[in-house]
Chains A and B, each alone.
Chain A
């Protein structure tokens, strides 16, 4: 099993460009999450989803949109990228609403110039 797969692994964007990060899980998990991690800091929750067709805001949602059209996929969109969005983005999925079943992807390193 692949677990949680993030695409792409690296990307460089120009300010104002848009892009979509894809997260795919093959574990039939109900819950999915997008985090960002800046240098020297812990992960911060951007958006999350408690099931297909549902999304909710996390700690730092501004500048991002998400969609969960299929249970196995959770998309994170940047409509107009800004240098402040340079970060490493992690996706996770879990089978429970508790905190012990999280599986994380390997991350997407995004640079906005």
Chain B
């Protein structure tokens, strides 16, 4: 089972910041939080990941609370092309120290004109 919970859907106005929350209250101290998105049934696309410090790249920013039990993905200036399903994932570790991405239902972000 996924180790994260996300709201099923959110709306955002074009040009505004989109803030997507994620709860991961059972996260362990050395587990990263990963964000992927899936645009209209294409293959998922990596966005960003983090451990405990806030992270920023050309696509988004990731804010992780100090207790690491939740995080927020921020798209600073959402465009219509950012309409997608966003997945927050904490990796599941299996045998042989192999990590597996287990996807939950994600948040459907609708960016509106």
Which A residues have a C-beta under 8 Å from some C-beta of B?
4, 31, 33, 35, 41-45, 48, 50, 56, 58-59, 88, 90, 92, 97-107
Contacts and interface: CB of A to CB of B under 8 A. Distances in A.
Interface in B56-113: 85, 87, 89, 91, 94-106
Contacts of A88: 41
Given A42-B104, A50-B96, A99-B32, A107 B43 contact: yes
Nearest to B33: A99
Contacts of B45: 104
A105 to B, nearest CB: 5
A66 B44 CA distance: 22
A41 B49 contact: no
Contacts of B2: 42
Given A35-B103, A99-B89, 14 more contacts: A31-B98, A41-B105, A42-B104, A45-B100, A56-B94, A58-B100, A59-B102, A90-B43, A92-B44, A98-B91, A98-B99, A99-B91, A100-B32, A104-B44
Given A56-B98, A97-B98, A99-B99, A42 B43 contact: no
A37 B70 CA distance: 26
A35 B103 CA distance: 10
B103 A100 contact: no
B43 A100 contact: no
B106 to A, nearest CB: 6
